[in-house]
């Protein structure tokens, strides 16, 4: 299966801990997106990359959040000093550049803060 | 007011019924997506539209750019269609980011 892969699928941690999620996009896709989805809501945009460049960040992405895509392939999303409000599903998607192409989503990482 | 509004929020149908989910948006868009999300989180892209109508199997998606409105229809609904259906738009000014509606929870009973 060469779809978008996210790890871990679930993460439970105590408030104040740091967490890191990984996303492996479809190999030929040069755009990679991170979204956050809270229970009962639609996803919200966090940030996106074109190759290794982070082109846009949402106001939702506070200074405790950082995302990287160092070699233009996989990406990591780190949350420092987690808070209760960070509990959500973190979704990654990828797409081909160069026009109106669909985004392909991973299964998400569900974060629960105790 | 959200940029993307869906209705209804929840929909229960009997197997075999024709289903319509509506999406209205308030910004100029370059594309509109219909997505399906099953319990557990995985999201599948159903359609990407910029005009007119698309059909795939029992699913039909239409868009009216002038009225800023799209509909997703499911013919001969089946319990396996039970899922959350999400409308998302790519605005003309937002680059690649998608703005999502809150989703419609569809339950099809046998």
pLDDT at position B93: 81
Judged by CB atoms closer than 8 Å, whether chains meet at B43 and A105 is answered as yes
Backbone angles phi, psi at B81, to 5 degrees: -75, -10
Question: How far is C-alpha A101 from the geometric centre of its chain's CA atoms?
Answer: 19
The torsion region of residue B16 among left (phi > 0), alpha (psi -120 to 50) and beta comes to left
Per residue in A63-107, pLDDT tens?
999 999 998 899 999 999 999 999 999 999 999 875 578 889 999
- Which of A4-18, A94-108, B7-21, B63-77 is the least confident region? A94-108
Interface test with B, best of A1, A39, A42 (most B CBs within 10 A): A42
**Strand B29-37 relative to strand B83-91, pairing:** antiparallel
pLDDT at position B80: 94
CA distance to partner chain A, nearest, from residue B79 (Å): 21
Q: How far apart are CA A96 and CA A91, in angstroms?
A: 17
Tokens, residue B89: 């738009």
Residue A109 contacts residue A11 (beta carbons within 8 Å): yes
A56 at interface of B, judged by CB pairs closer than 8 A: yes
Interface test with A, best of B97, B103, B105 (most A CBs within 10 A): B97
Residue A18 contacts residue A113 (beta carbons within 8 Å): no
Contacts of B66 (CB under 8 A, 6+ apart): none
Scanning B31-50 for CB atoms below 8 A from A yields: 31, 33, 35, 40-45, 48, 50
Contact residues on chain A for B35, CB-CB shorter than 8 A: 105
In the predicted structure, residue A2 carries a pLDDT above the cut 70:
yes
User: Collapsing DSSP states into helix, strand and coil, what is residue B84?
Assistant: strand
- Burial level of A16, CB count in 10 A (0-12/13-18/19+)? exposed
**Strand B19-25 relative to strand B4-7, pairing:** antiparallel
């Amino acid at each position: 299966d060469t779809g978008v892969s996210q790890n871990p699928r679930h993460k439970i941690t105590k408030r104040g801990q740091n967490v890191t999620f990984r996303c492996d996009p479809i190999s030929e896709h040069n755009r990679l997106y991170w979204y956050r989805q809270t229970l009962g809501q639609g996803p919200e945009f966090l940030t996106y990359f074109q190759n290794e460049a982070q082109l846009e960040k949402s106001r939702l992405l506070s200074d405790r959040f950082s995302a990287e895509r160092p070699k233009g392939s996989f990406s990591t999303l780190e949350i420092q000093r987690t808070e209760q409000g960070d509990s959500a599903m973190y979704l990654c998607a990828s797409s081909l550049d160069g026009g109106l192409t669909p985004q392909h989503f991973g299964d998400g990482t569900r974060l629960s803060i105790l | 007011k959200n940029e993307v509004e869906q209705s209804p929020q929840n929909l229960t149908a009997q197997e075999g019924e024709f289903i319509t989910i509506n999406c209205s948006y308030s910004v100029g868009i370059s594309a509109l997506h219909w997505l399906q999300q099953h319990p557990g989180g995985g999201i599948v892209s159903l359609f990407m539209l910029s005009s007119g109508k698309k059909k795939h199997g029992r699913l039909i998606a239409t868009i009216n750019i002038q009225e800023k409105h799209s509909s997703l229809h499911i013919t001969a609904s089946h319990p396996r269609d039970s899922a959350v259906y999400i409308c998302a738009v790519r605005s003309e000014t937002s680059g690649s980011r998608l703005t999502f509606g809150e989703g419609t929870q569809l339950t099809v009973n046998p």
